[in-house]
Amino acid sequence: MCSYENLPNHELDNLKRDHEVVIVMVPFPAQGHLNQLLQLACLICSSYDLPVYYVGSSTHNQQVRIRANALNPSDTAKIHFHDIPTPEFASPPPIFNASSRSPSHLLPLWDASMLMREPIASFLRNISSKSRRVIVVHDPSMSFTVQDVSSFPNAESYIFNCISAFNLYCFMCLFSGMPINIGEELLKKLPSLEGTMTDELKNFIALQVPFMDIKSGDIHNTSKVIEGKFLDLLAQVGSKQQWAIGPILPTKLHHTSNSSNVCLEWLNKQPPRSVLYIAFGTTTTFSDREIMELAMGLEQSKQKFIWVLREADRGDIFTGEARKLELPEGFEERVKGVGLVVREWAPQPEILAHSSTGGFMSHCGWNSCIESIYMGVPIAAWPMHGDQPRNGFLVTEILQIGMIVREWDKHRELVSASTIENIVRKLMASEEGDSIRKRAEELRETVRRSTEKGGSSRIELDSFIGHITR
């Protein structure tokens, strides 16, 4: 964990005064985004003793607290949650048979998030009148909503990027018309943006762009040892001050052997590195046919697994009933002792940290990628939408700590049971899989050192705190 030890003395004195600097976190209401900013808030509270306000709709503040407390309730104890009345929005169920994987059912929620501009401005006005400096750290997709930060003379804002530096660099190149500098061979393999998002989502993002330049800098949930090249390239294409302070994870993971969670109890009985963990995040919904193919592929592979089989989140997870996801008849009985199917929220960081976990079949959301990298678990990459295809490319082609389940240019095709069976065996029970696992474990050690005293991420976080408390 980071501490005061690397800060200059005069900045340390500022920190110990009566909270002259206040940090306000403004997350985007989607679980992966909510979680990353919450973990940053926990890290700052625990390591620097600065007051941190987590400002969001009452519904989504409740959501993130419940799920964080499933890991470690003490993490959130020091955070000041400021609940804004949740704007009215439709909360339709996920569309499991849609032609696009992009979570269009969440668009009413995201449009409603723009209605929080006025209450957030009111909160900032209040808190800026009582503080020497207010630091707003916000998701890029909340840029429209926090635009009024520029009207307060003692406030400044920083964008917290919940995507990889590689993805951000690619997007900036496309936006500016500059070439993507990753080498000719890699460029040929780079997944296209076709099918990654709907036109409605593109329009929502376009509304944020005019307000992104208000920021004073960028914070990245990555490390120089993971993405140093792309952080350097971002600096070259015009990024303002930036700090790579990741991976940002729960400050304490429970000791797995003492946990009562059903997944961890089951993992405690398995051999080291023998279990494939399967989870596709909170915005992915499979069709009945896809569930059947995945189930058959896992069964035929004869490999041990934990499968988190749950519907994608609604905009409001506290309303409506989730669709009942059907498995092949007798499946759970046939795989008993080999596989475990979990239909509820699962403690993913703890599962990945467990010594029995040897692989992760993932949609490649950045939160999942960064957790897997930190735990040294190789990825069977199965991207679904958004930034995920290029995260999968980063993991498999650039970092070489995973293998692709299905190439992105075939993303509209059904992945067969035989394909799944082959990729699972290849990752979990082959020399190639062992080589990938070894590289993942080597990267884990390098990344962990970067978060310790004297490591690049630790220095970057100390630098950011020193900058905002100047």
User: Looking at residue 365, what DSSP letter applies?
Assistant: -
Under 8 Å between Cβ of 291 and 442: no
Q: Report the alpha-carbon distance of residue 236 to residue 442 in Å, rounded.
A: 29
Under 8 Å between Cβ of 309 and 294: no
Of the residues 33, 105, 138, 363, which is catalytic? 33
Q: Report the alpha-carbon distance of residue 404 to residue 380 in Å, rounded.
A: 6
Q: Report the alpha-carbon distance of residue 346 to residue 343 in Å, rounded.
A: 8
What is the token pair recorded at 283? 């915005």
Q: What is the CA radius of gyration of the chain?
A: 22
Sign of CA dihedral 251, 253, 254, 255: negative
Amino acid at 387: D
How distant, in Å, are the alpha carbons of 70, 275, 423 from that of 254? 10, 19, 31
Per the annotation, the verdict on 316 as an active-site residue is no
How distant, in Å, are the alpha carbons of 40, 285, 323, 394 from that of 167? 20, 23, 32, 9
Under 8 Å between Cβ of 48 and 4: yes
Residue-by-residue DSSP string for 202-234: HHHHHHHGGGGGG-S-EEESS-HHHHHHHHHHH
Is beta strand 402-404 parallel, antiparallel or unpaired with respect to 379-381? parallel
Per the annotation, the verdict on 288 as an active-site residue is no
Cross-sheet strand order for the sheet of 155-161: 80-84, 52-57, 21-26, 133-138, 155-161, 218-220, 242-244
Q: Report the alpha-carbon distance of residue 397 to residue 164 in Å, rounded.
A: 15
Strands (E), 247-381: 275-279, 304-308, 339-342, 357-362, 379-381
Of the residues 75, 138, 139, 385, which is catalytic? 139
Q: Which residues are catalytic?
A: 33, 139
